[in-house]
Amino acid sequence: MSREITPILADVRRWARSRGDVRALALVGSYVSGNAGPDSDVDLVVVTDDPDTYGSPDWTRGAVGQRLILQTHREQFGNVWSTFVTLAEGPEIEFTFAGRSWAKSDPPAPEVCRIVREGIAILYDPLGEMRALCEACGARSQ
């Protein structure tokens, strides 16, 4: 994992822990797989009881700490959606919000297993749901 994103991840982890509805937080994508380049974004999966709570960008300030946010935009991807947060300094952050069913491990969804197998770093998982998902997919968190 890049040192560049370590402070960002610390702030996002602190934010997730403060939210009673967030069940898990994980880093996925190029920063975990070691393929991050200068234009790579930080891909985060937020498993929550109610993803629709995060429909407006009001929560973003708390998630990124004191960093200046230039813009946000939202995109739908099947049964999950993402908010992209462009910072004044540092990489863009993609927060993908999913319901708890995304992390189900009995059986896990094939598309979810593909994401997990490509690389995952669990940042917050108080109930062990992401660990169970990794095990069900035959993957290990970094």
**Six-digit token pair at 73?**
């935009």
- The conformation of residue 35, written as its DSSP 8-state character, comes to -
Can you tell me the mean pLDDT for 58-74? 94
* pLDDT tens track for 75-85: 988 888 999 99
Cβ–Cβ < 8 Å for 86, 45 = no
Report the relative pairing of strands 22-28 and 120-124 from DSSP bridges: antiparallel
In the prediction, which pLDDT does 69 show?
96
93 vs 79: CA distance, rounded Å: 20
* Partner residues linked to 98 by β-bridges: 47
140 vs 23: CA distance, rounded Å: 19
Domain boundaries, the chain: 3-101+120-126
* pLDDT tens track for 28-42: 999 999 899 988 999
- Flag whether the pTM goes above 0.75: yes
CA atoms lying within 13 Å on the CB side of residue 25: 20
Whether the predicted pLDDT of 57 surpasses 90: no
Residues recorded for the chain: 142
Superfamily of domain 3-101+120-126, CATH level 4 = Beta Polymerase, domain 2 (3.30.460.10)
